[in-house]
């Protein structure tokens, strides 16, 4: 019987949606916080949390996953104990592994211990995810990022460290308190090493587009700069251990910029090859972050005082990097 109806066939294009996968190595406070932020913000389809302690990552990942029905997200969090096969195909890997400096431990001891950990983790990750972009959070940050770069044997645009976003966040938070304004309206950039030699740039700090120097006196601003340089120590003095909420969130923000190709401008620990007159050194500078990792290193026009501070920071970081170079040379001889 002719019903007068015709069958219309729709041919859908054969498009496959690529899933995104992020691995966080180290399920301690910083690593777990990073994984939690990544999941809550649905930055990737899958977040793998890996640790060497039996059951530790599994427990943290399960706890995070059980918040999904509450916080309304779909990202799956999976915990594994030292099984790098489960990390295969990761687009971005965050390395938080390493030991804190303990009483009686020299700087060289810390470098030797943590460089061994970072080197091993980097090799294991790249065995299963050769194209992964690596973000290092382990301390001492600048030299551990350099260590990962040496182990990875890939473009330095794919190996970077997280420090500047954390330091800048502290600076912006302190300014927001002092000015009684929203931290959302404060834009700033810091350069140099992660620690006492970081280089704040008040000249490039704005509040709602207004230069911060027009809103706060130099004495208050200098006090905030000093507090920022000691920001990590302030947390340690209060808690008896290192910070984790802000560092974990900062690392997650870097991952998001890469995975979503946001082209964000962030201060990042990057390898310099002539920029700012500095060669072959990982140091905090403003960069553009996108799907290819560090897509551009931005060179600011620094004044003489800023150049002097950056030079001092370079010397401090290079001194630590040379310790690693000597250790590497000794182990290969």
Q: Are residues 128 and 250 in the same domain?
A: no
Instruction: List, as one string, the DSSP characters of 102-170.
Output: PTT--HHHHHHHHHHHHHHHHHHHHHH-TT-EEEE--SSHHHHHHHHHHHHTS-GGGEEE--HHHHHHH
| Residues known to be catalytic | 194
pTM: 0.93
Residues 260 and 207 in one domain: yes
Q: Judge whether 11 lies within some domain.
A: no
- Given a cut of 90, is residue 7 above it in pLDDT? no
Q: Is the pLDDT of residue 15 over 80?
A: no
CATH number at residue 278: 3.90.110.10
How many domains does the structure of the chain reveal?
A: 2
Asked if residue 310 belongs to a domain, the reply is yes
At 234 the pLDDT is 94
pLDDT over threshold 50, residue 165:
yes
Structure tokens at 96: 């938080």
Type and span of the H or E element at 214? none
Residue 275 is assigned to a structural domain of this protein: yes
Whether the pLDDT of residue 6 is over 80: the answer is no
Q: Give tens-digit pLDDT for 210-262.
A: 999 999 999 999 999 999 999 999 999 999 989 999 999 999 999 999 999 99
Burial of 133 (0-12, 13-18, 19+ CB in 10 A): buried
What pLDDT does 5 receive? 56
List the single range of 171-180, 240-249, 322-331 with lowest mean pLDDT.
322-331
Average per-residue pLDDT for the chain: 93
Residue numbers of the domain that contains 264: 164-325
**Does 8 fall in a domain?**
no
> How does pLDDT run across 58-117, given as a tens digit for each residue?
999 999 999 999 999 999 999 999 999 999 999 999 999 998 877 777 778 889 999 999
Cα 155 from Cα 293, distance rounded (Å) = 10
Q: Are 276 and 297 contacting, i.e. CB atoms less than 8 angstroms apart?
A: no
Position 333 scores a pLDDT of 62
- Residues 6+ positions from 293 with CB-CB distance below 8 Å: 133, 155, 157, 158, 159, 160, 258
Diameter of the chain measured on Cα atoms? 93
330 or 114: which carries more pLDDT confidence?
Answer: 114
Do 262 and 129 fall into the same domain? no
Contact 298, 288 (CB under 8 A): yes
Strands 46-51 and 159-161, sheet pairing: unpaired
- List pLDDT tens digits, range 293-316: 999 999 999 999 999 999 999 999
Burial of residue 217, with CB atoms counted within 10 A of its CB: 0-12 exposed, 13-18 middle, 19 or more buried = exposed
The DSSP secondary structure of 48-102, one letter per residue, reads EEEESSTTHHHHHHHHHHTTHHHHT---EEEEEES-GGGGTT-SEEEE---PPPP
């Amino acid at each position: 019987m002719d019903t007068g109806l015709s069958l219309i066939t729709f041919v859908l294009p054969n498009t496959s949606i690529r899933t995104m996968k992020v691995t966080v190595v180290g399920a301690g406070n910083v690593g777990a916080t990073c994984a939690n932020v990544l999941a809550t913000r649905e930055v990737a389809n899958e977040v793998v949390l890996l640790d060497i302690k039996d059951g530790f990552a599994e427990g943290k990942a399960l706890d995070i996953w059980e918040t999904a029905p509450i916080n309304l997200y779909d990202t799956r969090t999976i915990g594994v104990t030292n099984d790098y096969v489960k990390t295969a195909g990761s687009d971005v890997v965050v390395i938080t592994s390493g030991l804190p400096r303990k009483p009686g431990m020299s700087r060289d001891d810390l470098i030797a211990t943590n460089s061994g950990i970072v080197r091993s983790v980097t090799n294991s990750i790249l065995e299963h995810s050769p194209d992964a972009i690596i973000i290092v959070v382990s301390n001492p940050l600048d030299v551990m990022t350099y260590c990962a770069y040496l182990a990875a044997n890939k473009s330095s645009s794919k190996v970077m460290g997280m420090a500047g976003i954390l330091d800048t966040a502290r600076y912006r938070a302190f300014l927001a308190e002092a000015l009684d304004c929203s931290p959302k309206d404060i834009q700033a950039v810091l350069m140099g090493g992660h620690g006492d030699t970081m280089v704040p740039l008040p000249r490039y700090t704005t509040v709602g587009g207004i230069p911060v120097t027009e809103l706060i006196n130099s004495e208050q601003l200098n006090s905030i700069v000093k507090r920022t340089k000691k920001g990590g120590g302030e947390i340690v003095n209060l808690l008896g251990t290192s910070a984790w909420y802000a560092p974990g969130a900062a690392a997650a923000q870097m991952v998001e910029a890469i995975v979503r190709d946001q082209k964000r401008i962030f201060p990042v620990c990057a390898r310099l090859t002539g920029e700012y007159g500095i060669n072959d050194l990982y140091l905090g500078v403003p960069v553009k972050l996108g799907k290819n990792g560090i897509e551009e290193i931005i060179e600011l026009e620094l004044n003489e005082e800023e150049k002097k501070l950056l030079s001092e920071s370079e010397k401090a970081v290079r001194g630590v990097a040379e310790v690693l170079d000597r250790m590497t040379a000794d182990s290969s001889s």
